[in-house]
Each structure stands twice: as structure tokens, then as C-alpha cells.
Amino acid sequence: MGRLPSASILNGVACQMVITLGGHVDVPGLPDHGEASREERERCHLRALFWICYLFDKEIALRSGQPPFLTDSYCDLTPPDKGMTHFFADGTGQRFFPYLFGDIGLSLLKGRANRQLYSVHASRKLEAELLRDIPELDSALEEWRSSLPAQIRPSLSMSRASLPSL
């Protein structure tokens, strides 16, 4: 379990700070030409910090069984500009893949799974409703997986050789 309680507390502080600074609200992207002003760069940086907090928030909520600190209905979940999402290089330095964007898509699914399966509302659902939600979540997860570039797409199964030895 590691230090999940500490991570949860510190994540809560980080989420509150990014909201207080306004990072949960999207702003227009940086201009395509010319140099961005200091304020524009700060807003872009703040938005990147929001997405990092969002990624950790959904992961910690799912692992801990606690509600997330960042509620989707209060956050602008407009995907970040291309420049913010293309950080993963293929090793040759020639191509970049939407690494952060893939994580954002997965984090949105984690939030949805948490809401549909573990929330107070979910605890009041009939078993048939939960059994309907699970294949929908599975389908959404497969859609996300398929949307990733082949170089970073998780496989559906693992060979024995690729399993870590314990």
C-alpha cells in the first residue's frame, strides 16, 4: 500500500492550491506565432499543474476508495493543447506521442469508474445496474487503449516472459 494516506493528504493540498490559483479553468492556448507573455506562460504552466493534480487525484481516489478532491463538474476538462501533451519520444528523438493525453483519458475513465462503482450513488444501485455499468466501462477502456499509438499501447495479454519475476 506504500504511503497512500500521506499521498492522499498531500494531493488534497496540491488540488486545493491549483483550484485557488484558478488552474481548474481552461484558458486559450499560447499564440502560434511570436513569444508568449509571462502571464500566458504562467497560465499554461498552471494548467499543466492542474492536469498533473487531476491525474494523481483520480489514481489515489481509485486506490484508496475515497472520493476525489477534484470534482469533474467544477473543472474545465477541455483537453490540453497539443504542445502540452506530446512529451513522450520514441527514443530516436524524431517522433512524439500524446503521453499526457493518454494519461488524461485514462484518468477520466478512472474517475468514471470510481463514480459508477464506488460512490454513494453507486452503493444505492441495483445489482443489475452495476452489472450493466461494468461492460460499459470495459468498452470505454478498450476504446481508450485502442486510441493510443501502437508504440505505447498496452497489450491485451502478457506472455510469461514479460511478467516480472518475484
The pLDDT of 71-77, averaged and rounded, is 92
Cell 530516436 sits at which residue? Answer: 92
Total residues found in the chain within this entry: 166
| Span 89-126, pLDDT tens digits | 555 655 555 556 568 888 999 999 999 998 899 999 99
Instruction: Give pLDDT, residue 154.
Output: 83
Cell 493540498 sits at which residue? Answer: 13
The pTM of this model reads: 0.76
How many other β-carbons are positioned within 10 Å of the β-carbon of residue 21?
13
Grid cell for residue 10:
498531500
The pLDDT of 67-73, averaged and rounded, is 93
* Contact (CB, 8 A) for 53 and 15: yes
Nearest residue to 77 via CA among 99, 61, 53: 53
**Mean pLDDT, the chain, whole residue set:** 83
What does the domain layout of the chain look like in residue ranges? 1-76, 85-153
% of the chain at pLDDT higher than 90: 46
Q: How confident is the model at residue 60 (pLDDT cuts 50, 70, 90)?
A: very high
